[in-house]
Amino acid sequence: MAQVSIDSERFSRRFEAFSEIGATENGGVNRPSLSDANLEARDTLVEWLSEAGLDVRFDEMGNIFGRREGRDDDADPVLFGSHIDSQYNGGKYDGVVGVLGALECIEALNDAGETTRRPLEVVAWSNEEGVRFQPDMLGSGVYCDVFDLDYAYAREDKDGKRFGEELERIGYKGDGPCEAADLHCYFELHVEQGPFLEQQGLPVAAVEGVFGFSWLNVTFEGQANHAGPTPMDMRHDAFVATADVTRAVRRITATEGTDLVGTVGSVDVWPNAINVIPERVEFTLDFRSYDDAAVDAAVERIEREIAHAAEREGLDYEVEQIMRVDADPFDRDCIDTVVDAAETVGCEYTRLVSGAGHDANYLNKITPTSMIFVPSVDGISHRESEFTEWDDVVTGAEVLLEAVRTKAAE
């Protein structure tokens, strides 16, 4: 049997070409969900999947699948992939490494003329990032029955455009139902987006689970007024309350749990003028931990802080929970398959839990799942300077290939 191996050159050429789509001046990418750049990336991926001999389809959420028949075509397939939508000024490795890495695994099997007992399916999930259309992991969420289709189609971006309409506009609102098929398992190769692999000087991690998280949208409503003549004790300043709550996030993460993290990431101030007291502020809260009780405690405490801040400043307020995902450990056998694959490849490895959310969170609810991480230089991600050494990307793809071959033979 011919040696099956990742072709680093071919993989790199594809990755560099893909990185040109929606490229920013500082080496990142700007391919938010259902944007024109995301459309160009989708079309490019569909072309490459077809050229690799895969049977390509996309479902009513725009999730793109490429299928390679198995010797036993009725067997449940091995599914593997990630996402190709990006942050507004994001990194070019986030998600793409997992999708093009999966395609490269198919090419390696094709080159070697190796068939597999089970069918293989490569997937690119829609709207993983949740920055243009909240919440994130929307495509895999509908597929895994976490969200219903109408909810997803109705999600609006900041300009009031709806997900369903934008999906139709770009021509990726497929006919096929977005619902889970019977799967044998799911793997996702992804950059770590944190500092631990680099700190340990290791190229690969078998991922044992993903932090649970809660996303909240908060609105404070006060009173706009002139910044000059309005005495301080007559003000109802929505931004002062926002600042109080932001500070409270730090107090909570310092006391509610060892790995608990909290972020105020998006803030809209209205009317946002130098000489007007802010009337309305809409901002987001993102709490995460591998301990669900810590996330729940943080949400409870921040909701009290929000109420107190509003009372102090004489504001109205509203809190909307956009999503709550529990931390679920991945499947022990899939994790061990990744570990065995790393040993077959001959690379050093460790085991990690992911602080970043991934489509694998939801796939883990319906099929045995694990992930493979490769290092992020300086732990940077969701930033244009996101970088992973190419040798590490290739090693990650080799581990993915071995894990997929193992499971496809079962």
Q: Which stretch binds Mn ion (CB under 5 A): 270-278, 318-326, 348-356, 366-374?
A: 348-356
Q: Which stretch binds ligand HGY (CB under 6 A): 57-65, 126-134, 169-177, 386-394?
A: 126-134
Given the complex with Mn ion, which of 236 and 358 has the nearer CB atom? 358
Quick one: which of 66, 95, 262, 278 contacts Mn ion (CB under 5 A)?
A: 95
Residue 358 sits in the site that holds Mn ion (CB under 5 A): yes
> What is the CB neighbour count within 10 angstroms for residue 405?
20
Burial 184-219 (b: 16+ CB within 10 A, else e): bbbbbbbbbbbebbbeeebbbbbbbbbbbbbbbebb
Quick one: which of 238, 240, 260, 356 contacts ligand HGY (CB under 6 A)?
A: 356
Q: Which stretch binds ligand HGY (CB under 6 A): 35-43, 50-58, 123-131, 370-378?
A: 123-131
Give the angle 203-396-382 at the CA atoms, nearest 5°. 80
- Whole-number Å distance between alpha carbons of 72 and 110: 17
- Whole-number Å distance between alpha carbons of 63 and 31: 16
Q: Which stretch binds ligand HGY (CB under 6 A): 45-53, 122-130, 252-260, 304-312?
A: 122-130
Give the angle 51-373-356 at the CA atoms, nearest 5°. 105
- Binding at 130: pick from ligand HGY, Mn ion, none (beta carbon under 5-8 Å per type): ligand HGY
Quick one: which of 357, 368, 375, 396 contacts ligand HGY (CB under 6 A)?
A: 357
Residue 85 sits in the site that holds ligand HGY (CB under 6 A): no
> What is the CB neighbour count within 10 angstroms for residue 295?
26
Residue 359 sits in the site that holds ligand HGY (CB under 6 A): no
Length of the chain: 410
What number of helices (H) and strands (E) belong to the chain? 12, 14
- Whole-number Å distance between alpha carbons of 166 and 138: 14
Quick one: which of 62, 77, 98, 130 contacts ligand HGY (CB under 6 A)?
A: 130
- Binding at 95: pick from ligand HGY, Mn ion, none (beta carbon under 5-8 Å per type): Mn ion
- Answer left, alpha or beta for residue 28, where phi above 0 means left and psi between -120 and 50 means alpha: beta
Residue 129 sits in the site that holds ligand HGY (CB under 6 A): yes
Quick one: which of 59, 60, 85, 94 contacts Mn ion (CB under 5 A)?
A: 94
Residue 188 sits in the site that holds ligand HGY (CB under 6 A): no
Residues near ligand HGY (CB under 6 A): 128-130, 136, 356-357
Q: Give me the residues that bind Mn ion (CB under 5 A), please.
A: 94-95, 356-358
